[in-house]
Amino acid sequence: MPAAESPLASVLFPAARIASRVRELADDIARETDLAGIDELTAVVVADGALMFAADLLRALPRPVRFQSVKMSSYGGATHSSGVARLIGPAPEVNGRHVLIVEDILDTGLTLNALHALLLAGGAASVRTAVLLDKPAGRRSPYAADHVGFICPDAFVVGYGLDFDGRYRNLPEIGELRRELRPAGH
């Protein structure tokens, strides 16, 4: 069978660059938690998008880590935020724990603001956030992540966990979809 043509119009972050940046983030997080005297972290991973990132980041983190995943809904359709972010399913168990939120992309900020508040309300001892991508142009609600992999241009991106309609999460790199495959308005 012939290899399928790439669905990407351009590659923004190649796999090797992601891999080395994720290792740097893990080192930064280890150093920071050391300084804060924190031993065990509870990773709260925003599924499904952050699963690839979390798998690589947490395996590179030389610390005891508890793993919990949460599902958040902020997008009414495939690509446009409805303005509401809510938890779908059970709340994570974080009382007294030092939490590291792991998220694929910080865009409007609605998801992380809602999740952060929810974790503090659940009694988390501390909350830090690691995002692979930060898209400052999309912000509707101020939020600053503690650890950012890359600043992302104002484009709809897929790959390495990021999807369009459930597709392309398994691409090893991150890039912009070919025009004819893009969601309307992008």
Q: Which residues are catalytic?
A: 107
162/180 Cα distance (integer angstroms): 18
Instruction: Return the bridge partners of 100, or none.
Output: 43, 128
158 binds ligand XMP (CB under 6 A): yes
Nearer to ligand XMP, 25 or 33 (CB): 25
Which stretch in 13-21, 61-69, 98-106, 120-128 sits in contact with ligand XMP by CB under 6 A?
98-106
Which residues, in sequence order, are CB contacts of 70 under 8 Å at separation 6+?
44, 45, 46, 47, 87, 89, 91, 92, 115
Contacts to ligand XMP from residues 99-138, by CB under 6 A: 103-111
Q: How far is the CB of 115 from Mg ion (least distance, A)?
A: 11
From residue 58 to residue 97, what is the string marking binding to ligand XMP with x (rule CB under 6 A)? ----------------xx-----x---x------------
Backbone angles phi, psi at 165, to 5 degrees: 55, 40
